[in-house]
Amino acid sequence: MTGGHGTLGSEMRKLLPEIVAPPSEECNILSIKQIESQLATHNPDIFIHSAAFTDVKAAEDNYIECNDVNVAGTINVIKACSKRGIKLVFISTDYVFDGNAGNYDTDAPINPLSSYAKSKGAAELIVRTYPNHLVIRTSFYGHDFPYDKALVDQWSTKDYIDIVAPKVLKEALSDKSGIVHVGSSRRSTYEIAKTRNPEVKKIKMKDLKFPIPQDISLRT
């Protein structure tokens, strides 16, 4: 597994300690040699690719680095997996949608808006050309809501990592292929935030300085 020490990866390893998740120093996805070395050592049946540049705001100013990690890094993972016929489970995002409709099906056309979303959308499309793949679109916070303000006019099926991770792990270990959506019920960001931060304040999308989709709820 890549990204095994991030938010999702750490939670999944708590649930299944036998997951092999080398640190990025030993399995840098920008180095295909390192990826191939790990695969040769551990010979897995499934490769969960969770490592990514995920800072949506920072990606607007650092789009080259974002694309290096999210697109070029994913291509390296595909190349390494293809040599051994390993199933690739790619962790994608609800941000691949433009948010104009909401309640997106797995076969809905993607239309990412931000630099981060475009990089994940591009990576997802490339993964989908690899025959032995599963794309898991999801979205999550840590164990708490990380901000003091939350949008009242953005909706999603996002939830907290302790709720999302078990669902992602179940799908990752299944025999499914193609695309699946993982999330909770459709709520505003403010409603989600209030469940763990009762003091959170309201904010509207017009107050933001970078593009984000309005309704990225997934049909799960």
Six-digit token pair at 49?
A: 């690719």
Q: Is the pLDDT of residue 210 over 80?
A: no
Six-digit token pair at 32?
A: 């295909």
DSSP letter assigned to residue 72: I
- Nearest residue to 172 (alpha-carbon basis) of 95, 91, 79: 91
**48 in Cβ contact with 172 (< 8 Å):** yes
Distance CA 98, CA 102 (A): 9
pLDDT band for position 56 (50/70/90)?
confident
**How much is the pLDDT for 213?**
86
2 Cα distance to chain centroid: 12
CATH topology for the 7-207 domain: Rossmann fold (3.40.50)
**46 in Cβ contact with 169 (< 8 Å):** no
**Tell me: the pLDDT tens digits for 137-154?**
999 999 999 999 999 999
Q: What percent of the chain has pLDDT over 90?
A: 92
**How much is the pLDDT for 207?**
86
pLDDT band for position 64 (50/70/90)?
very high
How many helices and strands, by DSSP H and E, does the chain display? 8, 10
**How much is the pLDDT for 48?**
98
**How much is the pLDDT for 185?**
97
**How much is the pLDDT for 208?**
84
Q: Is the pLDDT of residue 17 over 80?
A: yes
Distance CA 153, CA 139 (A): 17
- Between helix 32-42 and helix 73-84 the angle, nearest 10°, is 40
- Residue 84, classed as helix, strand or coil, is helix
